[in-house]
Amino acid sequence: MMRYLLPMPWHTVMLVMVWLLLNGASWGQFVLGVVLGWVIPLLTYPYVRGHAPIRKPVALFVYMLRLVYDIVVANLDVARRVLLPNRYLKPGWLAYPLRIQEPFPAALLASSISLTPGTVSVEFSEDSQVLYVHVLHLDDEKALIDFIAQRYEQPLKEIFGC
């Protein structure tokens, strides 16, 4: 019965928090956030059923904080690179070898990479073994692969138990 009324409780909490961060904290916004945080998961649950369950919600929260930090740092780096003459940019393509095989965590990895300014996830290979990424400034391909594996993919594997 509880699963029917509140199918995705962590999504509800996250939606309410994001709503309050975007619209300011007031009682009216809190009530609206709770209503949206309840209705949206209720309507979308049939479409996300079957994805890998979140095994470590605290690790997910830490991951989100790390991602926000990386987004801020990458914004500053991209702004610095864009303001400098273009001869300092070295755009490139990266073929990132995926170790995650579950579709939902792999999509979260691709989204995390795209959310970080200076990188864009372009597509998965046909066999879903490689994620192609465009990078605004690529100095060391191996270092970037190691960074993505350690900073994003390994925590996602832990969160989802992949």
Phi then psi for 123, rounded to 5 degrees? -165, 160
* pLDDT score, position 83: 85
Tell me: pLDDT of 64 over 80.
Answer: yes
Tell me: pLDDT of 3 over 80.
Answer: no
* pLDDT score, position 90: 87
* pLDDT score, position 97: 96
* pLDDT score, position 89: 81
CA separation for the pair 72, 74 (Å, rounded): 5
Report the pLDDT averaged over residues 16-22: 93
Mean pLDDT comparison of 84-88, 137-141, 143-147, highest-scoring range: 143-147
Nearest to 155 by CA among 14, 54, 75: 54
CA separation for the pair 145, 66 (Å, rounded): 17
Beta strands 130-135 and 92-97, pairing class: antiparallel
Intra-chain end-to-end CA distance of the chain, in Å: 29
SS3 letters for 96-130? EECCCCCHHHHHHHHHHHHHCCCEEEEEECCCCCE
Q: Where are the chain's structural domains?
A: 2-48, 57-160
pLDDT in tens, 43-62: 888 777 667 788 898 999 99
Amino acid type, 126? E
* pLDDT score, position 81: 84
Name the token pair of 42. 């209720």
* pLDDT score, position 1: 62
| Residues sharing a CB contact under 8 Å with residue 74, sequence separation 6 or more, in sequence order | 116, 117, 118, 119
pLDDT in tens, 97-140: 999 988 889 999 999 999 999 999 999 999 999 999 999 989 89
Least confident of 80-94, 116-130, 139-153: 80-94
Tell me: pLDDT of 2 over 70.
Answer: no
